[in-house]
Structure 1
Amino acid sequence: MTLTLLDANGYGRIVRENGEIQAIVEHKDASEEQRQIKEINTGIYAVSNAKLHQWLPNLSNDNAQGEYYLTDIVAMALADGIQVASVEPEQAFEVEGVNDRVQLAALERQFQSYQAKQLMQQGVHLIDPSRFDLRGNLTVGQDVRIDINVIIEGDCELGDNVEIGAGCIIKNSKIAAGTKVQPYSIFDSAVVGEDTQIGPFARLRPGAQLANEVHIGNFVEVKNTTIGLGSKANHFTYLGDAEIGAGSNIGAGTITCNYDGANKFKTIIGDQAFIGSNSSLVAPVRIGNGATVGAGSTITRDVEDNSLAVERSKQFAKENYPRPQKIKK
């Protein structure tokens, strides 16, 4: 593999005759005429194993540096009547060498800059291309907007008019058209429908499947759960191993208690259900269509359609209650 550089100083030169490669000459051994050549050797070869073992014993260190040049196998191949072909990479950084972590970081930035440019040419609005990392494959629709410090990992797909807020991490996920993801949300193997609202600080774990127009708010975690059309969980909620119907509202602080210390169990919440704040739904349990769970309840039995379930201790008042006092020492 060869590469054409504006400044080829220090590299082995590709010597051609009538377009055919004749030799690779190291810089220190090159004549002034050969040093004007801009095509250089990248050090990457594809060679028959049998031929390589034939040629290697014949290498000599009779050169300016007193070294054994692997590049001499080119002349040996030609002497044996074997044609030497070459290809060039599309981008120079693809064959750039790395000797330390400083060079590795610099090369990574070149690669990320190249990927960012490709996305912008497809119409993606990157707020700051220098603060974007693509660590996999990204398929995009029209007018996608990505804010700073977003990381895309694995295979991801963003539909038309999707917006990703600052600091988000999206991994192996599919986000449909019109969805807005607020800053610092994390997706892993999630499927999100159209026109949903996610975050900020939301977490979608593997198996999260959100239908269209779902709202998932701040500090809500969703794992192995399907959520139906237009349902909402806007604050401080854990939804794990659950199935939630359409148009339901999950109040702040709700938890699906899916694990008994040994096994996982499922919570089913029907359509148009209302779960009051700070409720614990102990799986396996079913909340029916149109059912209401009063705030602060711990639900351990099924709740029928269009019914109200409340499970909490009765409030009482004790007048003139003497508060405990610190013991004086």
Structure 2
Amino acid sequence: MSNRYAVILAAGQGTRMKSKLYKVLHPVCGKPMVQHVVDQVSALGFEEIVTIVGFGAEKVKTHLGEQVKYAVQEKQLGTGHAVLQAESLLGQKKGVTIVLCGDTPLLTSETIDQLLAHHEAEQAKVTVLTAEAKDPTGYGRLIRNEEGLVERIVEHKDASDAERAITEINTGTYCFDNVALFESLKQVKNNNVQGEYYLPDVIEILKSQGEKVAAFKTDSFEETLGVNDRVALAEAEAIMKRRINNKWMREGVTIIDPEQTYISSDATIGQDTTLYPGTMILGETVIGEDCQIGPNTEILDSKIGNGTVIRQSVVHDSEIGKDVKIGPFAHIRPASQIEDEVRIGNFVEVKKASIGKGSKASHLSYIGDAEIGKDVNFSCGSITVNYDGKNKYKTKVEDGAFIGCNSNLIAPVTIGKGALIAAGSTITEDVPSDALSIARARQTTKEQYMVKSTNKID
């Protein structure tokens, strides 16, 4: 949007989190809080977004990259001082600046847009985002005059009994005339108990100059939740989870038990897919239509084709085709590619392997560092032996091969098209197409052996 700017406050240490992780990087539904804020602002096409960083600055920069510009608050001297650090980037620009906190992950682009529209319609120098709180304890109260404009903001500790009865609170999100903002910030004093420069003081300065101060009240108090400790983090997580789940149910996804289903904010799910309890869809996972996922299934950063069924299994960083059946109790590890109509059964592990259309490993197999063709059968207990303790090697099994029960394929090795590996074989050399390979010790039976052994012991 032309002449619209955003400043995101993300410099505080967040001591109440009691964590080694910088506060705004704590995730909500799989995404850091500050990334939620950046995403919502970015959706509105602001001309420039500036993130104020301090503690943990490099980690925030590493995560956000070039999505935003940065200003550093070397010393944490209050919110007004933090915004002032953006002066070199925004100070001389005409337009509207919105100031948001990096620990408000639930705030939506719709609410931000409504706030901006109200600010511009009112032609105010500053507009405060407010909300109705059932329990306003601890929040600053908004005092309006007879015209509905902002008379003042009173902090809870300074409020009278009558003022504390007011339930409209200051959320800490503001729209400013950009030039007026930076001119006023230079007039803010730190003559308070904390010795800090507070951003809300700009409101008093502008009001004393006869400027218009407006307020926009959002209908959703929960959007304005600021996360300062683990309790609030859990509350934000629950709200975000409910919001995401409701979105997908409205899009045609069946969620059997939304309270027991977790979907990342970056995941995508197709219509008529059903998610059973205990399902966790993490990262940037894409699930097609008509799938059945769960119960008790975890999928991370993977692509799942239409009509696939995954039960009680784990899939990470892999691509699964259409009409595949996985589980129960299968583990698809990273860099695996499973094509259409494959069957991966119980207690099967696949790692960094491609498995061709129609192939199956129904139970108790390990397929790692392998290239498996079409219509291959891995019988019970068959494995690719890919690691010699120092290096990993590749196994190749061509179309239509049949790997008998309890077979070991010692990589590097190739099993030719249509070949048959006899049960119990340990294969160390390539097997030609259509060949039968038997690699096991010949059976020897010594009759009455145990009877004779027992007599000797007696």
Smaller-chain TM-score bracket: 0.7 to 0.9
The match for 1:175 is 304
In structure 1, stretches of 5+ residues that fail to align are: 62-66
- Work out the CA distance in 2 between the residues paired with 1:59 and 1:45: 23
CA displacement, residues 276-326 of structure 1 (integer Å, 9 cap, x when unaligned): 01111011110011001001111111100111111000011101112666x
Q: Deviations over 1:108-147 (max 9, x none)?
A: 2222112111111111111111111123422111101001
Could you say if the C-alpha distance between residues 84 and 279 of structure 1 is closer, same or farther in structure 2, counting changes exceeding 3 Å?
Answer: farther
Secondary structure of the residue aligned to 2:240 is helix
Shift of residue 85 of structure 1?
Answer: 6.9
Secondary structure at the aligned position of 2:371 is classed as: strand
1:14, distance to aligned residue in structure 2 (A): 2.9
Contact 1:59/1:70, CA 8 A, preserved across alignment: no
Larger relative contact order (Cα-Cα within 8 Å, sequence gap ≥ 6): 2
> Which residue identity lines up with residue 178 of structure 1 in the other structure?
G
Conserved? CA contact 2:185–2:199, under 8 Å: no
- Give, in whole Å, the separation in 2 of the partners of 1:127 and 1:275: 39
Q: In structure 2, what is the equivalent of residue 145 of structure 1? A: 274
Aligned to 1:122: 251
Deviations 1:188-216 (A, max 9, x none): 01100000100000111111101100000
8 Å CA contact 2:323, 2:342 repeated in 1: yes
Deviation larger for 243-252 or 43-52: 43-52
1:4 shift after superposition: 1.9
Residue 3 (1) aligns with residue 135 (2): no
- Please name the residue that 2:332 is paired with: 204
Residue 54, structure 1, aligned to residue 186, structure 2? yes
User: Map of 1:136-285 to 2, 5 A cutoff?
Assistant: 136-183=265-312, 185-285=313-413
Scaled by the length of structure 2, what TM-score is found?
Answer: 0.63
| 1:40 correspondence with 2:169 | yes
- What is the alpha-carbon distance in structure 1 between the residues aligned to residue 207 and residue 306 of structure 2? 58
Q: CA deviation at 1:46?
A: 7.6
Cα deviation 1:28-70 (Å, max 9, x = unaligned): 6557886676532123458889657624425457xxxxx9975
The answer for unaligned runs of 5 or more in structure 2 is 1-127
- Aligned position for 2:24: none
Q: Which has the higher helix share?
A: 2
Distance of aligned partners of 1:265 and 1:81 in 2 relative to their CA distance in 1, 3 Å threshold: farther
Q: Which residue of 1 aligns with 2:439?
A: 311
In the alignment, is the contact (CA less than 8 A) between 2:278 and 2:297 conserved in 1? yes
Q: CA deviation at 1:103?
A: 3.9
Q: Return the alpha-carbon distance in structure 2 between the equivalents of residues 295 and 226 of structure 1.
A: 23
For 1:190, give the aligned amino acid: S
Instruction: Provide the secondary structure at the position in 1 that maps to 2:285.
Output: strand
1:2–1:69: structure 2 CA closer, same or farther, 3 Å change rule? same
Pick closer, same or farther for the CA change 1:82–1:231 going to 2, 3 Å.
farther
The TM-score, its normalising length taken from structure 1, stands at: 0.86
How many residues are paired up?
322
The residue that corresponds to 1:64 in the other structure is none
Tell me which residue corresponds to 2:417.
Answer: 289
Kept in 2, the 8 Å contact 1:24–1:72? The answer is no
